[in-house]
Structure 1
Amino acid sequence: MTDNPLVPLIAAGEAGLDTLAALALEQSRVIPADRRSFLNLAQRATSAAPASAAFFTLLAEGEVLAAERLGAFADACGVTRVQAAAYEPLPGCQAYPAYVAWLALNASPAEAVLALTANFSTWGGYCATIAEALRRHYGFTDEACAFFDFFAEPSPELDRRAQAALDESEPDRSRAHGYGRMLQAYEDQFWATLAERTP
């Protein structure tokens, strides 16, 4: 796991509700953006790489489920509809979905599969830590933690589809690993940007 300046603060109960609210609001922008990127990748892959298309379709469906769970977390953080409508996203948080969109336009489907899956375990670990901390230190309900629980759970079906995609089309691994490093750097930037909001 990379050095993440915010997750340890949440794990210790030291991040304020305003920071958690910002996390919810930034995710409310990330999720629909990533979903559109995954659908674009699925469309690109449909004819030549159907296994990759199936992988990206499952990712897009997962973003829909995540969006359904995010509202309860935002509510628990005290986010109102007025605040949500007026919120201006932070560039450091939105660099990650912007790069996913870049991959959707420029990477081969197999390269995008490999780059994205390289980051899944790190993201899942962060979510597991946050879910546990929200219950322990912030008194959040299971419903309010469901967004993080969703990503913390292993997905054998997603792993199976990723492997099928990589078996179907051999990616340029050097390029794909470079893409993965960029994704990880932008994810680190996401957390660092939010951590700056915590005194």
Structure 2
Amino acid sequence: MARTARELLEGVTGQLAPDPHANRLLPVIARGAARPETLAALALEQRHVIAADHRAFLHLAERSAAGTEESAPDPASAAFFEMLAEGEAVAAERLGAFAAAVGADDARAAEYEPLADCQAYPAYVAWLALNGEPTDVVLALGANVAAWGGYCETIAEALRHHYGFDDEACGFFDLFAAPAPELENRALAAVQAGLDADRVSRDDVLRHGRLLQAYESRFWHALWELDQRVA
């Protein structure tokens, strides 16, 4: 049994690491073969994901800071979720340049119908914001953030090398691909506080994490299917 936050966080992240072949769209983008319509859909779907996750993280921060009838206030988890919310606000700003580069302007966004499988992930994050034990959510999200960062690194490199995008257009993906030591420090502080207060349920963490990974896979698979359909 893990005795420190780092042991637990690294153990959960390793256990929840996605199948390297689960994201079928990633290698298509990596070799520069994804269609322009697919990249536009990626930008349009992310508009909805970012907005939803931003609100969910703010709610988790508020819940953590206030505490509940069952648990005391959890300022360490609140600090982690606050930083995630701040990151989503920055991501929303950076997404604009990528959206412009792929032709996903405001008019197109207004007409776009989001794909259900792409929006399953933020829907579950919203569920966690309402129902999850904050420390468990920190751990489950930490594992998914690691996988998402790797995807973004691959996409940013492909956009530069195969699609000719400049740094501004790649900025959204660069944001998540870059190391985030302060976010990791806040995650470790939140997990350690949870361990000290005996608030961590490894079973719940793994359940949340598996569902997050499944919904993440659905996001990419839906876009991969779209890529196959577009003529």
TM range (shorter): over 0.9
Residue 217 of structure 2: aligned partner: 188
Structure 1 unaligned runs (5+)? none
Match of 1:146 among 159, 171, 182: 171
Normalising by structure 2, what TM-score? Answer: 0.85
Residue 34 of structure 2: aligned partner: 15
Q: 1:63-103 deviations in whole A, cap 9, x for unaligned? A: 00000000000000012321111111000000000000000
Q: Which structure is larger by alpha-carbon Rg, 1 or 2?
A: 2
Q: CA deviation at 1:154?
A: 1.0
1:57 aligned counterpart, secondary structure: helix
Runs of 4+ in 1 over 2 A off after TM superposition: none
Q: 1:147-184 deviations in whole A, cap 9, x for unaligned? A: 00000001000000000001111311111111000000
Structure 1 residue 155 corresponds to structure 2 residue 180:
yes
Residue 157 of structure 2: aligned partner: 132
Q: 1:40-69 deviations in whole A, cap 9, x for unaligned? A: 110010041000000000000000000000
Q: CA deviation at 1:119?
A: 1.0
Q: CA deviation at 1:143?
A: 0.3
Normalising by structure 1, what TM-score? Answer: 0.98
RMSD: 0.8
Residue 115 of structure 2: aligned partner: 90
Structure 2 unaligned runs (5+)? 1-17, 67-72
Q: CA deviation at 1:138?
A: 0.4
Residues in 1 aligned to 2:106 and 2:183: alpha-carbon distance in whole angstroms = 33
Q: Which residue type is aligned with residue 34 of structure 1?
A: D
Q: CA deviation at 1:198?
A: 1.1
1:89 aligned counterpart, secondary structure: coil
Q: Which residue type is aligned with residue 118 of structure 2?
A: C
Residue 76 of structure 2: aligned partner: 51
Residue 172 of structure 1: aligned partner: 201
Residues in 2 aligned to 1:198 and 1:86: alpha-carbon distance in whole angstroms = 19
1:198 aligned counterpart, secondary structure: helix
Residues in 2 aligned to 1:190 and 1:70: alpha-carbon distance in whole angstroms = 17
* Sequence identity (%): 61
Residues in 2 aligned to 1:115 and 1:197: alpha-carbon distance in whole angstroms = 28
